[in-house]
Amino acid sequence: MSAPTPEADGIVTITPTENGPYEVVGQVRIISPDGTVLRETGKAYLCRCGHSANKPFCDSSHRREGWSEASDSEDSAE
């Protein structure tokens, strides 16, 4: 028998991808500051570089901007 998936057991996992967005797996509702439901989904990719034109979702701007985990850590240390 295989291990239960996050979707099946109700657990939501948030994993930072290597030099990319947060991967959110599990049934989630993403809501804007004004309360509008932006998306209800079992998987989403959320921006963590700050460059997305479609925040809070990733639009792959991190690639164009050359963002990486290392560059983000260096900025935080200043």
Tens of pLDDT, residues 44-67: 999 999 999 999 999 999 999 999
Burial 21-31 (b: 16+ CB within 10 A, else e): beebbbebeee
| Mean of pLDDT values over 35-41 | 97
Quote the mean pLDDT of the chain: 88
Cite the DSSP H helix spans in 1-78: 6-9, 61-65, 69-77
| Mean of pLDDT values over 7-30 | 92
pTM of structure: 0.79
Residue with tokens 């963590």: 48
| All structural domains of the chain | 13-77 (3.40.5.90)
pLDDT-derived band at 74 (thresholds 50, 70, 90) equals low
Q: Is the pLDDT of residue 73 over 80?
A: no
